[in-house]
Amino acid sequence: MSIVVVGSVAYDAIKSPSGSCPRCLGGAATYFALAASYFTQVRVVAVVGEDFNQQDENVLRSRKVDTRGIEHAKGKSFFWSGEYGENLNEAKTLDTQLNVFQAFDPKVPQEYLDSEFLFLANIDPVLQGNVRRQMNGATRLVGGDTMNYWITEAQHRQNLLQTLKGVDVLLINDSEAKMLARETSVPRAAQKVLQMGPRALVIKHGEYGATVFFKEGEFGGGRHPFRAPALPLEEVRDPTGAGDSFAGGFMGYIASQGELDRDVFKRAMFYGGVMGSFAVERFGTERLQSLTRTEIDGRYQTFRELTHIG
């Protein structure tokens, strides 16, 4: 089964204590698409500028990602520059140039409309809603992401709350969940967010893994949450895109399965962690470009050994 992702395809300039990458292929949709491509057919909806290399488009194509939905507009591609300190938890943004992304009006190509899975990466919730509506009745599961900017500003928040009604699985981090629910406790925030529309909520805890919370009765089970670890990595080179890679592994694995049940979600949480752990080992999307399913399943076993009692 195939999955459509809408979001940014961009260039990043990244510095971390392990080195730097002055012009890396980046963007949420890129990380997501590469990570998900190891599990299922991925179709991208995005916009790039005239500076976008054929070579970078080929990175996606060589992973058999459908790029027909990438619009080529006049101007420059979205550009982000950030720097990580010794504590790799958060990047200091040095520069953000929206460029062609500013006027992004995503259009889902006719050829994509039979996709059963959709992922709305972190963009304006109005655009997320537009894309959701463009998909036809084939859609079985909609995943989504968002960020503090859309959560806190009053008008954006209204738009976001509207969009969340059409999102089945929301993937956000601890601070976003607390901000969205206006709660100080993550488990309480989870229950509030599940009242806003999503049937499942994945809260990412960075180096500590992620927890999925379910609405009672959804996906064939009760309210019991499930927690997946992150790998205790001695060297994280570049945390950029870890969350999007998690989402790609998570949604990609789900899309590869016939059933939408708890066992599928649990394994998807592990595959999400696996893809996030690969992404941060090298700069940009480099590590995600040349994995094998054997390497991925090997690391999945490592995740099992890290958490399972024999």
Q: Which residues bind a copy of itself (CB under 8 A)?
A: 86-88, 184-188, 190-191, 205, 207-209, 211, 213, 224-229, 232-236, 263, 266-267, 270, 302, 304-310
- In the complex with a copy of itself, the residue whose CB is nearer, 149 or 208, is 208
- In the complex with a copy of itself, the residue whose CB is nearer, 126 or 186, is 186
Please calculate the CA angle 11-33-160 and round it to the nearest 5 degrees. 85
Residue 306 CB, nearest distance to a copy of itself (Å)?
5
Residue 257 CB, nearest distance to a copy of itself (Å)?
13
Residue 193 CB, nearest distance to a copy of itself (Å)?
13
Helix (H) or strand (E) holding 190: helix 186-193
- In the complex with a copy of itself, the residue whose CB is nearer, 25 or 230, is 230
Rg of the chain over Cα atoms, rounded to whole angstroms, equals: 18
Residue 273 CB, nearest distance to a copy of itself (Å)?
11
Residue 270 CB, nearest distance to a copy of itself (Å)?
7
- In the complex with a copy of itself, the residue whose CB is nearer, 45 or 254, is 254
DSSP bridge pairs for 25: 11
Supply φ then ψ for residue 162, to 5 degrees.
Answer: -65, -45
Would you call 308 exposed, middle or buried from its count of C-beta atoms within 10 A (0-12, 13-18, 19+)?
Answer: exposed
206: DSSP letter:
G
- In the complex with a copy of itself, the residue whose CB is nearer, 23 or 267, is 267
Tell me the CA end-to-end span of the chain in Å, nearest whole number: 34
